[in-house]
Amino acid sequence: MSDPTLAQQHLVKVHTTTHETVVTTHNHNQTPSINASGEKKKIVGVFYKGNEYAKLNPNFVGCVEGALGIREWLESQGHQYIVTDDKEGPDSELEKHIPDAHVIISTPFHPAYVTAERIKKAKNLELLLTAGIGSDHVDLKAAAAAGLTVAEVTGSNVVSVAEDELMRILILMRNFLPGYHQAVNGEWNVAGIAHRAYDLEGKTVGTVGAGRIGKLLLQRLKPFSCNLLYFDRLRIDPELEKEIGAKFEEDLDAMLPKCDVIVINTPLTEQTRGLFDKNRIAKCKKGVLIVNNARGAIADTQAIADACSSGHVAGYSGDVWFPQPAPKDHPWRYMPNHAMTPHISGTTIDAQLRYAAGVKDMLDRHFKGEDFPEQNYIVKEGQLASQYR
Amino acid sequence: MSDPTLAQPHLVEVHTTLETVVTTHNHNHRPSINASGEKKKIVGVFYKGNEYAKLNPNFVGCVEGALGIREWLESQGHQYIVTDDKEGPDSELEKHIPDAHVIISTPFHPAYVTAERIKKAQKLELLLTAGIGSDHVDLKAAAAAGLTVAEVTGSNVVSVAEDELMRILILMRNFLPGYHQAVKGEWNVAGIAHRAYDLEGKTVGTVGAGRIGKLLLQRLKPFNCNLLYFDRLRIDPELEKEIGAKFEEDLDAMLPKCDVIVINTPLTEQTRGLFDKNRIAKCKKGVLIVNNARGAIADTQAIADACSSGHVAGYSGDVWFPQPAPKDHPWRYMPNHAMTPHISGTTIDAQLRYAAGVKDMLDRHFKGEDFPEQNYIVKEGQLASQYR
């Protein structure tokens, strides 16, 4: 795919230690300018490292090296932009900057956990931005209590995640991976694949949650001629329900046993943590397929591993884990019939370009004292949005 | 998934050699004569289910499941020979060619019906494909011999269209490098994300827009792509508008526009080797190619070379040449492939449909009735127009 070229950052100096890479530049050719509001801010971005991949794609802005493509813009306004991937523990690079950072930007793909303890240390902190969607790496109650604003780029990766969910439904239903394994292992045993391969057509698919991602998923599922069910606190507009052909299920535990495929599309909250535990999984259909690109902790780690081993769950696929990054020995890496990946669905190149643009827009508004798009707020000056209470 | 249970054939005797032949004898009564009074020898060539055959009662596409039609055939006095041994002069299939009346095969384990075999087949009347795609048959030789060749049109078109869309997403979103990291204990988001894209907004072109191609385009519509298609026949304008697909009259004008190319044409003399070195070179650098049509439409080495150079950023399909793919087939080992054995059209749901279709055509054949017109590839020596 050909890509438009973004302006490249002017790389002057790289500080390398054993633990991490910090990329910073100095505008030696001019006196740092003062932005319109007259205040110089310290912006901290926490992203995963791109390493050798950073140079391969100029649109790869979601990594430390690409830094959302906003470094020149920030520094031209006199702000300081610190970017790191080192975010864990008291000696991390992130920890050094918490006391005086004004803004912390993070992504769900390499989240900076903003705990109550860190918030207490953060004397200058005003704003927490998620480059992407999903701010559950932030202690939202502590953020609200501290009068902070927490915002994300609503809509930036909903298409990405919906596409990825549908991909995983097909991978599990059609039994792609055993076929792929045979191809690379020099084998040819059609029966070993076909005996548990099905068409998606005619199957019952239920989404737990029908917010933006869930709705986009249902729209993409429509031409596959499935039986579509959804559970949510809010009912979809009847017109859209009819257009998609999705049926509302008021009772989650009544919906789940009907489903050949269950897709998790709810935020991680106190109510949804561990929602898919041993008991609830046992009530699902034997041979159920589960797709989870929402949050790993919505599913009990060991309960899922056990159900995959017993075959009660015929397949589990997602890109979210708990903890995250997933440790080398995370049980989901090794359980039967999984189709997991690291947390990547919302950080395709296209998603990165959208969330980088959204972050830049909100920083600009923040500097000018303007409001953000309303749907972007998770916490607005200490007030927690209703769907997170 | 819960499955309805099909009646199991009554297994009396198994002859085991290098392969498995399953047959039964109705010792309890004299073989009955079917309505037309003729006893036919039906030969089915399928892949072996082995230990998997028992795991799913709906698994009818294998030797053991034998399309679920054994009891029905034998109750009418016909002989039903089922084997997977189909290659070479000493194969089980070869033993039955001289006196078989009907040969049933599938594209997943095809019995190659060559001119030489047709010449030996003194009693052969009918060649049935359990599934879609009869290019394992020398159609001209079949026509010259006055045979009928038919397949279960429509039986797996949904299956293949779904599988094509799955592969488009797997390549576009870079699923496999992510999966490899998961199982190896790694976590390197950059190694995946730097070449992962959304499907939204991309240009997808299908080479061929028959039944499978149309079903694919319909499923692609809500992904908001730029959809192009090339075919000899233009789609109905109403459907074109509904799907949002644009007709491309010139294949070589369409291909360089495409981020994704999907091959959806039969294998014919014209399409063999269609994707050769020169045509691939004209495609967009980083193009993704999906081929669940026929392996030989793409030149094996040209594809392997283009994947190695990166001109083709990914190739995925379930069709190979030859098939079964030998252990050393280059496509197994080239970079950025997402291949599988030939399985897309033999999901359980597809098997149930094509088994029902084969049974229907056998029934009509025994009664001297015509088949559904769209099922004919060759009708009593006449080759259907799309295969000329």
Span B83-102, pLDDT tens digits: 999 989 999 999 899 999 99
Average pLDDT over residues B349-368: 96
Parallel, antiparallel, or unpaired for β A80-84 and A261-264? unpaired
Q: How far is B325 from chain A (nearest CA, A)?
A: 7
> What is the pLDDT at residue B143?
96
> What is the pLDDT at residue B26?
39
Is A372 near chain B, with CB under 8 Å?
no
Q: How many CB pairs under 8 A join A and B?
A: 234
pLDDT digits (tens, 9 = 90+) for A67-80: 999 998 999 999 99
| Helices marked H in chain B | 70-75, 92-96, 115-120, 139-144, 157-172, 175-184, 189-193, 211-220, 237-243, 251-254, 277-282, 300-309, 348-367
Q: With an 8 Å Cβ cutoff, are A170 and B166 in contact? A: yes
> What is the pLDDT at residue B367?
93
- ipTM for this model: 0.87
Q: How far is B31 from chain A (nearest CA, A)?
A: 33
Of A199, A325, A342, the CB nearest to B162: A199
Q: Is the distance from CB of B262 to CB of B205 less than 8 angstroms?
A: yes
Residues of B in contact with A167 (CB under 8 A): 166, 169-170, 173, 175
Beta strand spans in chain B (E): 13-16, 20-23, 41-45, 79-83, 102-105, 126-129, 148-151, 203-207, 226-230, 245-247, 260-263, 287-291, 312-317, 376-379, 382-383
Q: How far is A204 from chain B (nearest CA, A)?
A: 10
> What is the pLDDT at residue B27?
40
pLDDT digits (tens, 9 = 90+) for A245-270: 998 998 999 999 999 999 999 988 87
* Confidence category of residue A23, pLDDT binned at 50, 70, 90: low
B117 is catalytic: no
Those residues whose C-beta lies under 8 Å from the C-beta of residue B299, and which sit 6 or more positions away, are: B273, B275, B276, B277
> What is the pLDDT at residue B271?
95
* DSSP percent split of chain B into helix, strand, coil, nearest 5: 35, 20, 45
Reading across the β-sheet that carries A204-208, which strands appear in turn? A246-248, A227-231, A204-208, A261-264, A288-292, A313-318
B294 is catalytic: yes
Residues of B in contact with A56 (CB under 8 A): 194-195
As a whole number of angstroms, the distance between CA A140 and CA A53 comes to 34
Using CB atoms and an 8 Å cut-off, which of residues 177-216 of chain A contact chain B?
A: 177, 179-180, 182-184, 186-203
Residues of B in contact with A194 (CB under 8 A): 52, 59, 61-62, 108, 343, 346-348, 351
> What is the pLDDT at residue A40?
81
Residue B33 has pLDDT above 80, yes or no: no
CA A265 to chain centre: 12
Average pLDDT over residues A336-358: 95
Q: With an 8 Å Cβ cutoff, are B193 and A347 in contact? A: yes
* CA-based R_g, chain A, Å: 22
Of B55, B187, B332, the CB nearest to A186: B332
Residue of B nearest to A55 (CA): B194
Q: With an 8 Å Cβ cutoff, are B197 and A348 in contact? A: yes
Angle between helices A158-173 and B157-172 in degrees, nearest 10: 130
| Helices marked H in chain A | 71-76, 93-97, 116-121, 140-145, 158-173, 176-184, 190-194, 212-221, 238-244, 252-255, 278-283, 301-310, 349-368
Give me chain A's average pLDDT, please.
89
> What is the pLDDT at residue B63?
93
* Confidence category of residue B233, pLDDT binned at 50, 70, 90: confident
Higher pLDDT pick, A271 / B259: B259
pLDDT digits (tens, 9 = 90+) for A154-173: 899 899 999 999 999 999 99
Residue B179 has pLDDT above 60, yes or no: yes
Q: How far is B108 from chain A (nearest CA, A)?
A: 8
Helices first, then strands: H and E counts in chain B: 13, 15
Residue B2 has pLDDT above 60, yes or no: no
As a whole number of angstroms, the distance between CA A244 and CA A221 comes to 8
As annotated, the binding site of A for NAD(+) includes: 212-213, 232, 267-271, 293, 319, 343-346
Residue A219 has pLDDT above 90, yes or no: yes
CB atoms under 10 Å from CB of A22, counted, come to 18
Active site residues of A: 157, 295, 324, 343
Average pLDDT over residues A181-188: 95
Q: With an 8 Å Cβ cutoff, are A195 and B348 in contact? A: yes
Of A183, A224, A344, the CB nearest to B162: A224
Q: With an 8 Å Cβ cutoff, are A349 and B196 in contact? A: yes
> What is the pLDDT at residue B71?
85
pLDDT digits (tens, 9 = 90+) for A32-45: 444 455 678 999 99
pLDDT digits (tens, 9 = 90+) for B286-345: 999 999 998 999 999 999 999 999 999 999 999 999 988 998 999 999 999 999 999 899
Residue of B nearest to A192 (CA): B52
Residue B17 has pLDDT above 50, yes or no: no
Residue A17 has pLDDT above 70, yes or no: no
Q: With an 8 Å Cβ cutoff, are A191 and B162 in contact? A: no
Residue of A nearest to B196 (CA): A348
Average pLDDT over residues A225-235: 93
Of A163, A177, A199, the CB nearest to B158: A199
What whole-number percentage of chain A has pLDDT above 90?
72
Of B108, B163, B193, the CB nearest to A190: B108
Q: How far is A382 from chain B (nearest CA, A)?
A: 33
Residues of A in contact with B48 (CB under 8 A): 191
The full set of domains in chain A, from first to last, is 42-154+349-388 (3.40.50.720), 157-340 (3.40.50.720)
Residue B11 has pLDDT above 70, yes or no: no
